[in-house]
Amino acid sequence: MKIQPFLMALSILLFTVPASTQNWPSFRGPAASGVADGQRLPVQWDVDKSVNILWKTQIPGLAHSSPIVWGDRVLVTTAIASDQNSVLRIGQVNPSDMASDMSRQSWRIYALDRLTGKLLWERIAEEAEPRVRRHTKTTHASATPATDGEYVVALFASGGLYCYDLEGNKKWSQDLGVLNANWADKPEIQWGPASSPIIYKDLVIVQCDIEKDSFIAAFDLKTGRKVWNTYRQTIPSWSTPTVYEGERGAELIVSGSQDIRGYNARTGQELWTLRGTSSITIPAPFVAGDLIFASSGYPRGIQPIYAILPGSRGDITPREGADKSDRIAWSASTGAPYIATPIVYGDYLYVCRHNGILVCYRARTGEKVYEQRLGPGSFISSSPVAGDGKIYAASEEGEVYVVKAGPDFELLSINPMGEECMATPALVQGMILLRTRSHLFAIATK
């Protein structure tokens, strides 16, 4: 593993940050919000000139999983193919374009030092041939790991769920079976899974919407023992679940390619259903304030955005033609993103569409505030994150757009990374940790 730190140790010792978010434990960080204030985050940086680049570490293999952080430990996963000619395509692609690399994969977890980018440990979770194919735009390691500060869990396209402690000691593993997340319209087209595991208290929860026998399941974090398993009659999806804790208990929110459902997070019992989603659902549901936001924007179908009131029971689908109900604060039938999960920051909901257009809504009402293109020809798969009054959105082409938060669109900067970018950044302790195709960058104001 090649390490290329850009700062000397003395520079790192002099680098100080204000009190800020200390950890980024899972996909989209604390509470899956994508928000971290008090960071003193930079607006501009330059990779070639090492301006505001603290370090750059090469990560072998091919993966779209995002980095997570606990304290001074950064954790990432990857899949290293024995065939080194792995194809990755970005931009406009053919849905039927499956990759041919079915060579033996080495699925790995890396732990890096947050201050230097130095490798602390590396573990091989599994080595095997893939059980299913992938699309040329996806990878065999697209799921982001999760940690509670003591354990780290990782889910790979092989169907293996693995748990280690933060020193790299393996605690347990589970074989979840063949995770064939295929195209429902053309079942012979395999795209590969992407839903990330989450940790809720002492449970690891996974959403596996696949070709046959879809399910969600919870495992004991310490032992790997299966606590509950709920089968789902649904077609494949690629969304990551989230948990809302309210007066009526903990609701596990699951977005699928036919409906959105709430479950009891402790038992897996279904609580409510909202029908009417895209036939291909990728964005994750998330909680902001007292609302649950869910969206799905497959370009060839409906593209709904929902703001859902928690604590629901039964079927909460609005009647035909209605955009809200006693359980839906507001909804829109069009405008949802295809891949990137939206974000609520302050009073506004920001949606990064796949074609590089940023749309701002009022989060409480759904009123559209503005719609602006970020850059010519840009495609966006990475989910936006926000902090210190700024929205950060990374394009597939590797350009990070920094936009001023608020009702008036203002593009503050465009920062080229020099490589493709599909992963979602982490904002923690004054740093932007950004994964590109071959590297992990630590970006911060020097």
Sign of the CA dihedral with 378 first, then 145, 248, and 319 last: positive
Query: Any idea what DSSP says for residue 350?
Result: E
Under-50 pLDDT residues of the chain: 1-20
Tokens encoding 142:
């697209």
Across the beta sheet with 385-387, the strand order is 385-387, 390-394, 399-404, 411-416
Tokens encoding 40:
């003193």
So what's the pLDDT on residue 41? 95
So what's the pLDDT on residue 101? 81
Which H or E run includes 13? helix 9-14
Distance in angstroms (rounded) separating the CA atoms of residues 356 and 359: 10
Distance in angstroms (rounded) separating the CA atoms of residues 36 and 29: 8
The model's pTM is 0.94
Distance in angstroms (rounded) separating the CA atoms of residues 393 and 198: 23
So what's the pLDDT on residue 376? 85
So what's the pLDDT on residue 2? 41
So what's the pLDDT on residue 91? 93
CATH architecture for segment(s) 74-412? 7 Propeller (2.130)
So what's the pLDDT on residue 324? 75
Is residue 404 a contact partner of residue 396, using CB atoms and an 8 Å limit? Answer: no
Distance in angstroms (rounded) separating the CA atoms of residues 284 and 341: 6
366: left (phi over 0), alpha (psi -120 to 50) or beta: left
So what's the pLDDT on residue 17? 35
Nearest to 351 by CA among 34, 27, 26: 34
Boundaries of every domain in the chain: 74-412
Is residue 228 a contact partner of residue 206, using CB atoms and an 8 Å limit? Answer: no
Tokens encoding 112:
């890096």
Residue 350: strand pairing partners: 343, 360
**At a CB cut-off of 8 Å and minimum separation 6, what does 58 contact?**
1, 2, 3, 4, 438, 439
Tokens encoding 59:
């990560």
